[in-house]
Amino acid sequence: MTTDSPSPTDFIRRMIIEDNESGRFGGRVQTRFPPEPNGYLHIGHAKSINLNYGIARDFGGKFNLRFDDTNPTKEEEEYVQSIIEDARWLGADWEDRLFFASDYFDQLYAWALQLIEQGQAYVDDLSAEEIREYRGTLTEPGKESPYRNRSIEENLDLFKRMKEGEFPDGSRVLRAKGDMASGNINMRDPVLYRILHATHHRTGDKWCIYPMYDWAHGQSDSIEGITHSICTLEFEDHRPLYDWFVEQLGIYHPQQIEFARLKLTYTVMSKRKLLLLVNEGHVHGWDDPRMPTISGLRRRGYTSEAIRDFTERIGIAKNDSVVDIALLEYCVRQDLNLRAPRVMGVLNPLKVVITNYPEGQSEELFAINNPEDESAGSRKVPFSRELYIEQEDFMEDPPKKFFRMAPGREVRLRYAYFITCVDVVKDDAGNVVELHCTYDPATRGGDAPDGRKVKATLHWVSARHAVDAEVRVYDQLFTDANPNDPPEGKSFLDLLNPDSLHVLNGCKLEPSIQAATPGQRFQFERMGYFCVDPDSTPDSPVFNRTVTLKDTWARVQQQR
């Protein structure tokens, strides 16, 4: 009844358990992830991968990676490589079972000949537009093509000549004989093959006819011995076709099961929209850290463990749903809290001079690398007369609940000393540019021997020892929780958040960060989780903010 582990029996696993009990597939379980190489993987795909791979793993079955590469006009090798990399990074293991639908083109062709010979497929000369007209509408039946009753011999001849390249693109198609009056439009003589004189990323120019999804997918599953072919809801009314083809061919019959695709608030998930964002330059590529792509999330600093945890927490069902992106952020904080070493970094520096600290002197203070992980050890952080603190940690005229630095107030510098603000230096425009403070030498390490308390602990960096860095802070890509549903006359692009990226320069980081390499993740204490960007060099380090820490103070401020 109550399960505290998040992974459990969703309706798909229950179906599999039933199949195993009835011996339907001989107790065998084999799943697959079937991406089309026409874009990068996104977190919706991660849901599918973790579902399919997780099922295979949990049931002691097998998992295949199969590219659904039946449309050479949209598919590219670059996408194949990125998908393999991302799927692996997510933790999926297909062992030696990396397949391509294009591996099966010969078999698919032979099966098409079989269907023609059985009198169940024909070559149609109607134009694309005519086919559409003949198909009818959602509420009215279609009518049969005048070419539907060609002889088997003529169909065989024409289809072979289609394959030989005798006809131009679009001039003919091979269609199955379905039922032009069916309420399910997929059954109204679906197209099996179209003529495409295009170079395929794997088969080159060998073919000029290419199978449609419906003709390729089920039979590919059948060839691979897939038991449970899991796909998303929009394929639900393709299932009768899926079943019909394998039955007519008399081949092994897998079970198609559909579940709801993932939607997330404040982002878009369709490959078409993501491609548009990339092509129109609204983001800097598929791996832009604001993208919901796997490569974007990785660059942002997400771990595959956090993503897997997320895909387990959201569950599997058939309800259309939109998951709050706050859950994803919760998952990555949860994971990074345990593994990210802490470091001090000031994003918006405010200079502090400790007036009673000797000029030219410095010392090293003890700091813990990760309070959640003792094995992470400790480090030394340099302290000196001139420091930086965060601008937002000082207010000249603080409201009631603000208990950070203010004139006359004493606070703790993390791992260092208690300091008291004695003077505020301003520029001509009245901006606070520097604080003069005194420190209490007796509070070294951060504890007052007399037991007095301070309400705030601030992070800081010694000015002389600081590493300058660029920090890229991100906000949601869209201002609207559901950019898929823009107001009348607007596009989802109109809902783009103009402030989704802020580049901060001159950020001050403690020197221990110097050796960090791209991909490394840190918690900047009190500020959030950050990760070294691939653009980073030893001379000019660049960090991405993965996510802020949960910020109670920020919430209090918003309520005011």
Partner RNA sequence: UCGGGGAUCGUCUAAUGGCAGGACCGGGGACUUUGAAUCCUCUAAUCGUGGUUCGAAUCCACGUCCCCGAGCCA
Residues labelled catalytic = 36, 261, 271
In terms of Cα–Cα distance, which of 263, 264, 265, 262 is closest to 479?
265
Minimum distance of RNA from residue 191's CB (angstroms): 4
Residue 210 touches RNA, criterion: CB under 7 A = yes
Judging by DSSP bridges, how do beta strands 528-532 and 521-524 pair with one another? antiparallel
Q: How far is the CB of 61 from RNA (least distance, A)?
A: 20
Q: Could you tell me which stretch among 158-166, 212-220, 464-472, 490-498 binds RNA (CB under 7 A)? A: 212-220
Contact (CB, 8 A) for 404 and 321: no
Shorter beta-carbon distance to RNA: residue 19 or 68: 68
Per-residue binding letters, 4-43, with RNA (x by CB under 7 A): x----xxx--x-------------------x-x-------
Residue 81: how many CB atoms within 10 A of its CB? 11
Residues 460-519 that bind RNA (CB under 7 A): none
Residue with Cβ nearer RNA (9 or 118):
9
| Dihedral sign, Cα of residue 374, residue 379, residue 385, residue 390 | negative
387 touches 414 (CB < 8 A): no
**Contact map string, positions 243 to 282, toward RNA, x by CB under 7 A:** -----------------x----------------------
Which alpha helices (H) appear in 90-151, and where do they start and end?
Answer: 105-117, 128-134
8 A C-beta contact, residue 465 and residue 384 = yes
Strand 98-100 relative to strand 362-368, pairing: unpaired
* CA–CA gap between residue 332 and residue 334 (Å, rounded): 5
Distances (CA, A) of 230 to 184, 246, 263, 312: 21, 17, 18, 16
DSSP 106: H
Q: What is the helix, strand, coil percentage profile of the chain, to 5?
A: 30, 25, 45
Of 20-28, 370-378, 495-503, 537-545, the window that binds RNA (rule: CB under 7 A) is 370-378
As given in the structure block, the two tokens for residue 532 are: 């070294």
Nearer to RNA, 126 or 246 (CB): 126
**Binding-site residue total for RNA (CB under 7 A)?**
95
**Which residues between 168 and 187 bind RNA (CB under 7 A)?**
169-173, 183-186
Q: Please select the residue that binds RNA; options are 83, 212, 230, 461, rule is CB under 7 A.
A: 212
Interacting residue with RNA among 58, 77, 205, 324 (CB under 7 A):
324
Residues 40-79, interacting with RNA (CB under 7 A): 68, 70-71, 74
How near is the Cβ of 142 to RNA at its closest, in Å? 8
456 binds RNA (CB under 7 A): yes
326 sits near RNA (criterion: CB under 7 A):
yes
Q: Which is nearer to RNA, 186 or 497 (CB)?
A: 186
Q: Which is nearer to RNA, 441 or 534 (CB)?
A: 441
437 binds RNA per the rule CB under 7 A? no
